[in-house]
Chain A
Amino acid sequence: METMKILLYLLIFPGFLFTAVCGMLASFIDRKLTARVQWRRGPPLLQPLYDFIKLLGKETIVPKSANKLTFFLAPIIGFAVVILVSTILGLTLINSETSFAGDLIVVIYLLTIPSLCIIIGGFSSGNPIASLGASREMRLILGYELPFVLSILVPVIKSGSIKLGEIVTSTYAISSISGIIALVVSIICMQAKLGLIPFDAPEAEQEIIAGSFIEYSGTPLAIFKLTKWMLLFVLPVFLITVFMPTKNVISFIIKYLILLVVVILIKNTNPRLRVDQIIKFSWIYLTVLSFIAVIYALKGL
């Protein structure tokens, strides 16, 4: 019975099916809004679903120089991790009793793994351009991970706990100066985690074609795409959980949509940064800003 319940959580409600549908909707909103910003009509509602099913039906090609095991494992691990994160977050938001000690740290670690999978996939496909994309992704992680963790530290200080359940029930971090600074920093870090412009150097279409994904085709590519769409849902939900938790469904949806639209508008109004510019930006501005936020939070502001 207990196993069935866990499977249900993982596969249907806060897990796979729910997140996949929401991620596809988020991807549709992304493409439609981008089209409207560029004064176009944009794709139909079911476009992400068509793309996904089409990719599932295509032939899967494995390059001769690729390491088969890691080439196929990389997308699957990233996908599984996103399902796990969405399940943990969803259950915590619905019922804060289900959270366990230190699950915030688990979630922060798990959110790094999809990027690691992109790196592994890129290196194992044996294509020089994919390796270039993977090495850029690695430097991107070095850039954004420190300010991201530091800005998540602010709600931890406010609530005095590293348990998601207690953060959800006790604090509303956004109501203070330190919380606002930390939210701004973490939104920019989220942009980098999602690999969107201005931080899309790892898969810069015009320079290195598709980065790590260049050799992927068919089902593995479909899984990578779905993982990206699901991250577009899971990461804003994580920020909502940590900074402005809510039980009300409508207020939750409004907060999510605001975060999503901010991300898409940043994506559409900025040029791409070079890798060294990304590192400089995140280590000088973002890290200092997040340190200021942590100091403010320690002072109780």
Chain B
Amino acid sequence: MSIKFKSLLKSPWVFHLACSPCNNCDIEILDVLTPRYDVERFGIQLVGSIRHADVLLVTGVPNKKTAVRLKQLYDQMPKPGIVIAVGTCACGLGIFKNGYNTVGPIDSIVPVSAYVPGCPPKPEAIIMGVVKLIKALSEKK
């Protein structure tokens, strides 16, 4: 494993994109940053600009407006970067499956590396998803 790749796994900076969710998942994501769970232990930081990010964290169902933005933001992210879908809506479509403005699940628009299901997923589940992804990536390379 190269040192570049190792340091990428040790400091993933996260950009949080809310793709028209109901905000439950967003609140759980904010919980992950609080002193109780403290993801800065793993070097994970929430950044405001997509140009600084390594991980695109997506919640919610992409509709006709947000699907375009999601694609744009993915293209603006400096590579190597990965996408994580958080919540049942982002993984599949949840109860919005037959919605009139639903475009499709997130992985039909951008490639997704990890799915964290739940409505909303617990903070422990989100951390476990990230840890599993890091493990899988470090074994693959």
The residue in chain A whose Cβ has the minimal distance to the Cβ of B47 is: A210
CB pair A209 B78 closer than 8 Å: no
Given the complex, which residues of A lie within 8 Å of B43, measured CB to CB? 43-44, 47, 50-51
Q: List 13 A-B contacts (CB under 8 A).
A: A41-B40, A44-B41, A47-B10, A50-B10, A50-B11, A53-B4, A54-B7, A57-B4, A205-B48, A210-B48, A213-B52, A215-B51, A217-B52
Stretch in contact with the other chain, from A31-39, A107-115, A156-164? A31-39
CB pair A54 B10 closer than 8 Å: yes
Q: A50 vs B5: C-alpha distance in the bound complex, in angstroms? A: 10
* Least Cβ–Cβ distance between B26 and chain A, in angstroms: 15
CB pair B40 A209 closer than 8 Å: no
Stretch in contact with the other chain, from A5-13, A58-66, A194-202? A58-66
CB pair B41 A41 closer than 8 Å: yes
Contacting residues of chain A (200-235) with chain B, CB-CB under 8 angstroms: 205, 209-210, 213-218, 221
Residues of B within 8 A of A (CB): 3-8, 10-11, 35, 38, 40-41, 43, 47-49, 51-52, 54, 76, 78-80
CB pair B7 A50 closer than 8 Å: yes
Given the complex, which residues of B lie within 8 Å of A54, measured CB to CB? 4, 7-8, 10-11, 54
Residues of A within 8 A of B (CB): 31, 35, 38-44, 46-47, 49-51, 53-54, 56-61, 205, 209-210, 213-218, 221
Given the complex, which residues of B lie within 8 Å of A205, measured CB to CB? 48
Q: A57 vs B8: C-alpha distance in the bound complex, in angstroms? A: 8
Given the complex, which residues of B lie within 8 Å of A59, measured CB to CB? 78-80
Q: Beyond A46-B10, A53-B4, A54-B4: 5 further Cβ-contacts under 8 Å?
A: A43-B41, A58-B54, A58-B78, A61-B76, A221-B52
Q: A44 vs B40: C-alpha distance in the bound complex, in angstroms? A: 9
Q: A44 vs B44: C-alpha distance in the bound complex, in angstroms? A: 11
Q: A63 vs B47: C-alpha distance in the bound complex, in angstroms? A: 19
CB pair A57 B7 closer than 8 Å: yes
Given A54-B8, A54-B10, A210-B47, the answer on whether A218 and B78 have CB atoms closer than 8 Å is yes
Q: A241 vs B76: C-alpha distance in the bound complex, in angstroms? A: 45
What are the nearest 4 A-B pairs in CB distance?
A209-B48, A57-B4, A217-B51, A59-B78
Given the complex, which residues of A lie within 8 Å of B40, measured CB to CB? 31, 35, 40-43
Question: Which of B8, B35, B52, B76 counts the most A-chain CB atoms under 10 A from its CB?
Answer: B52
Q: A31 vs B11: C-alpha distance in the bound complex, in angstroms? A: 14
CB pair A210 B3 closer than 8 Å: no
Given the complex, which residues of A lie within 8 Å of B48, measured CB to CB? 205, 209-210, 214
